[in-house]
Amino acid sequence: MTIKKLLITGGAGFIGSSVIRHIINNTNHSVVNVDKLTYAGNLESLTSIENNPKYAFEQVDICNAAEIKRVFNQYQPDIVMHLAAESHVDRSIDGPGEFIQTNIVGTYVLLEGARDYWSSLEEDKKEGFRFHHVSTDEVYGDLEGTDDLFTEQTPYAPSSPYSAAKASSDHLVRAWQRTFKLPTLITNCSNNYGPYQFPEKLIPLIILNALEGKDLPIYGNGKQIRDWLYVDDHARALLHVALTGKVSETYNIGGHNELQNIDVVKTVCSILDKLVPSKLDGIDRYEQLITYVGDRAGHDVRYAIDATKIANELNWTPDETFATGIKKTIEWYLNNMTWCKNVQDGSYQRERLGNL
């Protein structure tokens, strides 16, 4: 396969850094990482590949049209993989404005920058160009039935400011493909977990809180169901779609691991009990730290992905089960407590600013 140059937005984030490590470590393709470096952008997640000649980093806000144009002209990418987004539902409820700006306006600016660049290309390079927009299953809203699954034809019904902003960006991408013929692809994924995930998310939050003897907060009754996808499986899928997917198509990416949140938390506690038995006073099992808190506003009950299309058309399936993936995840956090502490105390941001 022809060697490609990928421009990846949000590459210092959880999923983006996994994609970049996968590309640099396992392929001959090169990467330009464009990231604003908000709180969720952590260059420490890329230290293993930061000096690789196939990798370049640009600290750029995707809402900055002039800088986006410069990056396109300077690096001449073959593929854009757009992951940059505000992504935490709780934060979107507390302050929707940043989500509107980054997820909607930022996607518009990037689409226009890509369209301008793509229009100027020679015909052979123009033909091979792709704009891959990475989205979420949360745009589909809530599943009521126990057997229902999100397919690529499921109508959009977002519940939170976060998912509404992502749904808006999906619509923009489809409009730019239909109106301007920009060669786009969209993927919608289920809940990701794995190494380097920011500790505000459920699984790393539970791991680190348990080790510190803090409460393990569970929204409502904890029976909300999610489909869990190991992040390195997702990274493989994203590159595969970018390289082999059909223009204008959407592909749902799922992990085939539907679990209630409470069962996820209890599984994490059980594994921690074996790997690092509790030395906390009065706590024999980490599960004793579980605390139920008021439910999130507009909390969806169930998400579940039908990933038949990507399996049948692109021959992609996940390698990890939840049992294998969660064990790898917990072991990674236990072996990388310096990374965790740097995130928790904010030093990863201070060190980053000092180096820029």
CA dist 152 and 307 (Å) reads 9
Tell me if 96 sits within 8 A of 144, measured CB to CB: no
Q: Which of 35, 44, 86, 137 is catalytic?
A: 137
Q: Which of 78, 86, 138, 320 is catalytic?
A: 138
Tell me if 67 sits within 8 A of 35, measured CB to CB: no
**Element (DSSP H or E) covering residue 275:** helix 261-275
Tell me if 72 sits within 8 A of 78, measured CB to CB: no
Q: Facing residues of 186 across strands?
A: 133, 250
Is residue 138 part of the annotated active site? The answer reads yes
337-344 helix and 347-355 helix, angle to the nearest 10 degrees = 90
Q: Which of 55, 75, 117, 162 is catalytic?
A: 162
Tell me if 11 sits within 8 A of 43, measured CB to CB: no
Tell me if 329 sits within 8 A of 194, measured CB to CB: yes
CA dist 277 and 274 (Å) reads 6
In this structure, what token pair is assigned to residue 230? 């190991």
Pick from 174, 187, 140, 153: nearest CA to 314: 187
Q: What is the DSSP letter of 150?
A: B
In this structure, what token pair is assigned to residue 254? 């799922």
Pick from 21, 39, 36, 11: nearest CA to 347: 39
Determine the residue type at 347.
S
Q: Facing residues of 250 across strands?
A: 186
CA dist 133 and 122 (Å) reads 23
Q: Known catalytic residues? A: 137-138, 162
